[in-house]
């Protein structure tokens, strides 16, 4: 309200000054000097301008406050939408990217830089669920997810793409580096000290299949190749890493 009253006072002063100036110019031009003219030139703006300017400025202030509130609501809506988008792209249990979000991520990454793919599958996971219950199975999955995150470092490059299956996008197409990262993850998972509420230690391990270099073929093709390498690792006794060579570099 103070802003409105201050603006009204300024308008009133300016109106009176302009009215007196115009009246003075007209009287001088016509060689007229009547004090009543100056009185009228003073009174009229004093009577008219406060009411008119108050209505105008009050509406303007209301509009300003409304726009400020609208801007605040829009900012809050943007934050809410961002949170909803983030939540919709995450697996509810592990917090990693879900399958669709990971596919979109890896497609975007490989367009910008050299990249490779690892698919990681928890060994004997059905046995953990069947023997020790789904509560312990979920705990094992979360422990493996955290272990992969600790090894990779970039949480946004890891996805949970199936029940007990994870995927990792690596920023390299060097087969040795991809193999090394896979071995680091495999070894780290095998060292997890996972225990049930009864303090029974459950040994964990993973089998890993991968593709070094994603420049050629479609993402679906690369996933199929990595999946074949994963099942080759399963057939070889599990708890091992098999990587498809980078055919582009080999050529």
Q: What is the pTM (predicted TM-score) of this model?
A: 0.68
How confident is the model at residue 59, as a pLDDT? 73
194 close to 204: Cβ distance less than 8 angstroms:
yes
Residues with a known catalytic role: 164
Is the pLDDT at 18 greater than 80, yes or no? no
Please say whether the beta carbons of 234 and 207 come within 8 A: yes
pLDDT tens-digit series, residues 107-147? 999 988 999 999 999 999 999 999 999 999 999 999 999 99
Compute the chain's Rg from CA coordinates. Answer: 37
Mark 158-186 as b/e (b = at least 16 C-beta within 10 Å): bbbbeebbbbbbbebbebeebbebbeebb
Instruction: Reply yes or no on whether the pLDDT at 8 is more than 80.
Output: no
Give, in degrees to the nearest 5, the angle at Cα 142 between 138 and 148.
145
pLDDT tens column, 173-204 = 999 999 999 999 999 999 999 999 999 999 99
- Residue 251 pLDDT exceeds 60: no
CATH class, domain 99-250, is alpha beta
Residue with tokens 């690596």: 170
pLDDT of the residue at 178: 94
């Amino acid at each position: 309200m103070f802003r409105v009253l201050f603006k009204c006072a300024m308008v009133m002063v300016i109106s009176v000054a302009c009215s007196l100036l115009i009246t003075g110019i007209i009287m001088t031009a016509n060689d007229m000097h009547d004090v009543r003219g100056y009185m009228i030139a003073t009174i009229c703006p004093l009577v008219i301008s406060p009411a008119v300017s108050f209505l105008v400025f009050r509406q303007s202030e209301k509009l300003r406050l409304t726009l400020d509130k609208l801007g605040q609501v829009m900012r809050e809506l943007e934050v809410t939408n961002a949170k909803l988008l983030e939540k919709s792209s995450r697996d509810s249990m592990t917090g990693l990217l879900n399958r669709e979000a990971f596919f979109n991520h890896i497609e975007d990454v490989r367009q910008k830089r050299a990249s490779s793919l690892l698919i990681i599958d928890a060994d004997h996971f059905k046995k953990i669920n069947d023997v020790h219950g789904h509560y312990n199975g979920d705990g094992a999955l979360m422990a493996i997810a955290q272990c992969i995150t600790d090894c990779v470092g970039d949480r946004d490059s890891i996805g949970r793409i199936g029940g007990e299956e994870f995927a990792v996008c690596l920023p390299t197409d060097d087969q040795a580096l991809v193999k090394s990262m896979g071995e680091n993850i495999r070894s780290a998972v095998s060292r997890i000290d996972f225990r049930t509420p009864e303090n029974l230690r459950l040994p964990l391990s993973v089998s890993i299949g991968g593709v070094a270099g994603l420049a050629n073929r479609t993402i679906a093709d690369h996933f199929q190749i990595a999946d074949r390498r994963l099942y080759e690792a399963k057939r070889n006794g599990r708890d091992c890493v098999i990587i498809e060579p980078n055919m582009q570099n080999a050529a």
